[in-house]
Amino acid sequence: MPRSRPFAARRVAGRAARAPRRRRSMPRLGWSVGGALFGVVWMGFALLFLALAIWNTVDIGQLRASGVRTTGTALRTWTETSTSTSTDANGFTTTTTTTSHYTQVRYIDRDGVTHVETVSGSHRPPSAVAVVYHADDPGSVRAAGEVSGFSFGLAIFLVLFSAGFVLFGLTFFLRW
C-alpha cells in the first residue's frame, strides 16, 4: 500500500504545479456608447482647460521676463456681476454670485502711441495704474499685479491641476 502524504504537503504540491496567475490592478470597463461619449467629452474639456492654462502661464511668464512696464491713468472703472443657480439631486439649491472688477486705462507705449485698454481690477479714476504689455503688441496689456509672483504660481498650479484631469481621462481610456 502506497504511503500517503499529509494533507498540507498535498496542498503545497498542488499549488506548485499550477502556473502563477497574473492579476490586473483594475478591471476593464468594456465598450459602451455612453462611456465613450463621457470619455471623449471629458478629454475634450480637460485638454481645452490644459491648453488655456498653459497659454496663460506662458503669457504671464513672457510679460514677467520681457514685458514693457509703464504707468497709465485710470479713466473709468466698473463691475460686472453674474449670478447662477443650480439644484442638486437632493433638491438643494445653490446660488453663486461672481463680481468682476475692470478698469479702462490710458497709457502711452514706448513708440509714443496712446492706447486705451481694459485691465482687471478696480483702480479709482484718475489714479496711476502700473501696466505691462508685450513689446510687439502694445494692445495686449495687463495690470502689473496680474503678472506678480503669486499670479504666476497660481497659473502653474492651474496647469498641474488640469494636467491631473487629463491623466485621469487617460486612465479612463486605458481601462476601456
* Residue 76, pLDDT score: 96
- In Å, the largest CA–CA distance within the chain is 111
| C-alpha cell belonging to residue 7 | 494533507
* Residue 63, pLDDT score: 94
Q: How many CA atoms lie within 13 A of 67 on its CB side?
A: 24
- Report the C-alpha gap between 168 and 144 in whole angstroms: 35
Q: Which residue has the higher pLDDT, 21 or 150?
A: 150
Could you tell me which residues are beta bridge partners of residue 86?
A: 94
Could you tell me which residues are beta bridge partners of residue 107?
A: 115
Q: How far apart are the first and last CA of the chain?
A: 56
- Report the C-alpha gap between 77 and 100 in whole angstroms: 11
pLDDT tens-digit readout, 40-99: 888 999 999 999 999 999 999 999 999 999 999 999 999 999 999 988 888 899 999 999
